[in-house]
A = this chain, B = another copy of it.
């Protein structure tokens, strides 16, 4: 049906539409999901929930900044990992995103430092090395405490390009440059694995 006043198709009330538009900005959120979220706010968020949500958005933008040393997100000047005197300062593990730091921390398997690039090289998106925290990494590596750089990029075209670039830049130095292993994941089924994963699994094979 069309609106009796303007003959245009019926629309959501403006405030709902504005909220739907905000949710649609998020990655992987299409119109249907955004509508679902917006109606969830309308129907299930009380005053306190809404205030808490608004406050958390405000706080995150006010308080969260990259660590001055490694680029990991923090609410202080230097992040907890960089401040931690017990960590092995010889190793720096390079990741694309701050979120990746938390994922690796949760494994309890790594005791070195990190460096967050804040993205990956992607010529098609206009992202070159100069748009990432690479200059900061090279600057940091002048400190001779650091001996190993572990590249932990995602297994994607952008991740590969970034790792190749860093390898090329760093191979002139005395640093040991390593790369995390790629291959079939835990629970992974060969029949369902994609070509890239299988290629890496074969390429990385070891003597049994």
Contact = CB atoms under 8 A, between A and B. Distances in A.
Nearest to A73: B42
A76 to B, nearest CB: 8
A184 to B, nearest CB: 21
Q: How large is the interface on A (under 10, 10 to 19, 20 to 34, 35 or more residues)?
A: 35 or more
B1 A111 contact: yes
A192 interface: no
Interface string A125-141: 00000000000000000
Contacts of A108: 1-2, 9
A60 B9 CA distance: 21
B39 A98 contact: yes
A36 B41 contact: no
A15 B75 contact: yes
A19 interface: yes
A147 interface: no
A68 interface: no
Copies of this polypeptide in the complex: 2
Nearest to A12: B102
A59 interface: yes
A195 interface: no
Interface in A23-54: 25-28, 33, 35-45, 47, 49-50, 52-54
A75 B106 contact: no
Interface in A150-204: none
Given A19-B56, A25-B40, A26-B37, 18 more contacts: A1-B81, A1-B111, A9-B105, A10-B106, A12-B102, A13-B63, A15-B60, A18-B60, A19-B57, A19-B60, A21-B56, A22-B52, A22-B56, A26-B40, A35-B99, A38-B60, A41-B57, A41-B61
